Amino acid sequence: MPVPHRIDLAAALLFAKFIPGLGSVAIALSGITRVMLCSGNHDLDERSPEGEKISRWVGEVRELGIACDGDGLTIGDTLFTVCPWWDGPLVKARIEAQLGAAAAARPKQWVWVHHAPPANSPTSWGGKRYFGDVELVQWIGRYQPSMVISGHVHQSPFIPDGSWFDRLGDTWVFNAGLQPGRPPVYIVLDIDDGAAFWLSAEAAQSIDLKAPLQRPAAPIGIVPPWLTSLGRIADPSLAKPATAAG
């Protein structure tokens, strides 16, 4: 699967602190793709000298060849900016500096990896309120990246008024959601052809990234020959989305 032409976004991440042998997995994956990991709210395992909660362990996976918090990864004409979860003004300021530096030399495609989706977006709707990041909305407005890949709110794609996609200005935003099953719910982005595909036990949908935002997403009609995982959700009875942000 050549990147940046197509990008698989699995909803589940491999956590080094929980999975023995992740090093061998990363080495195996490095021959066919690149792995990126941004910290989330459950990854904050210690405090900085200034007292802010930080994720120490996520930074340790960098030695495995995984792009993580604070990194920039350029593949072809696409720059991926991996943002940490921020819990205070110092890490927030580092993200602002990271985005500002990357914006100065942004290539044709600029994709952010950021755990929380933007505030007041269907991608951050939890059923009763939004769980998104207000600052992320401001950063998107300032820099207008091509795409933002997020997660955090597990149920957004599966509930009324929620969604796996949104658009803020010229920026597409994605949240695959969380759903048990094999394989997990995920999104594939076809950057060359300008299409996005969402595959879950509940539905298989696609949107045209070259067109204005339209809802609802259409069922996948003509299946690209490379989309070989379509219909491989093993047990649809497991399709019970989690009910909390994480």
CB 32 within 8 A of CB 8: no
- 15: pLDDT strictly greater than 90: no
- 19: pLDDT strictly greater than 50: no
Cα–Cα distance between 136 and 107 in angstroms, integer? 20
User: Considering only 159-163, 185-189, 220-224, which range has the smallest mean pLDDT?
Assistant: 220-224
- Average pLDDT on 99-120 reads 95
Cα–Cα distance between 127 and 202 in angstroms, integer? 18
Helix, strand, coil % (nearest 5) of the chain?
A: 20, 25, 50
Nearest to 22 by CA among 57, 69, 73: 57
User: Residue ranges per domain, the chain?
Assistant: 6-238
CB 196 within 8 A of CB 174: yes
- 41: pLDDT strictly greater than 50: yes
User: Considering only 33-37, 131-135, 150-154, 181-185, which range has the smallest mean pLDDT?
Assistant: 181-185
Q: What is the mean pLDDT of the chain?
A: 84
- Average pLDDT on 187-208 reads 91
pTM for this entry: 0.85
- 12: pLDDT strictly greater than 60: no
pLDDT, position 13: 35
- 27: pLDDT strictly greater than 60: yes
Fold (CATH) for 6-238: Purple Acid Phosphatase; chain A, domain 2 (3.60.21)
